[in-house]
């Protein structure tokens, strides 16, 4: 998985290479630019997947001629990870929980500790146990959050 350090390094490289005052292209804009060369983004938005499946899908798109730089594809993967990746709350690792739930390491670790003794059964139980989680975000991602 692309780590925060790699993404930060890419952002710093972009900021150095850009003309003064120019803003780097967002990961969402890169995804739109690269992916809509072949299909609509609705195809992407309609099919949330786990990280490994997204990686395989992006590789297939590259193999089929998707045009972009390695940094573009790293940003696309990060965008998909943050917005369209499924997570099993009872089995996801710290990085998955932090990224998909947009939370910090302490909360992700607390979720992992809690599920070790009492797995979560649903979103309501997760929200009750961790009221600091962004409820609007959880609601928008509820079709991507699982409790196996």
Contact in structure between 123 and 144 (CB atoms under 8 Å) = no
The pLDDT tens digits for 94-120 are 999 999 999 999 999 999 999 999 999
* 17 confidence band (pLDDT: 50, 70, 90): low
Q: How confident is the model at residue 7 (pLDDT cuts 50, 70, 90)?
A: very low
Assigned CATH topology for domain 4-83 = Cytochrome Bc1 Complex; Chain D, domain 2 (1.10.760)
Alpha helices in the chain (DSSP H): 4-17, 27-35, 41-45, 51-63, 70-83, 94-101, 105-117, 123-129, 135-140
Give the torsion through C-alpha atoms of 52, 106, 130, 27, to 10 deg: -40
For the chain, the structural domain boundaries read 4-83, 87-146
pLDDT digits (tens, 9 = 90+) for 27-48: 999 999 999 988 998 988 888 9
Answer yes or no: are the C-beta atoms of 51 and 25 closer than 8 Å.
no
Distance (Å, rounded) from C-alpha 28 to C-alpha 80?
9
| Rounded-to-10 torsion of CA 125, 82, 2, 108 | -20
Distance of CA 45 to the CA centre of its chain: 12
Residue 100 and residue 84: Cα distance in Å, rounded?
8
């Amino acid at each position: 998985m692309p780590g925060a350090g790699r993404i930060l390094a890419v952002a710093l490289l972009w900021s150095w290479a850009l003309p003064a005052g120019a803003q780097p292209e967002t990961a969402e804009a890169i995804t739109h630019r690269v992916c809509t060369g072949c299909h609509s983004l609705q195809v992407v938005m309609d099919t949330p997947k786990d990280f490994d499946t997204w990686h395989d899908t992006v590789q297939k798109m590259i193999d089929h001629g998707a045009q972009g730089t390695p940094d573009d594809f790293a940003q696309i993967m990060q965008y998909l990870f943050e917005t369209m990746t499924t997570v099993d709350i009872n089995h996801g690792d710290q990085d998955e929980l932090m990224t998909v739930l947009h939370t910090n390491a302490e909360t992700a670790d607390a979720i992992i500790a809690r599920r070790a003794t009492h797995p979560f059964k649903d979103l309501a139980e997760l929200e009750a146990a961790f009221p600091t989680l962004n409820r609007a975000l959880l609601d928008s991602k509820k079709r991507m959050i699982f409790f196996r």
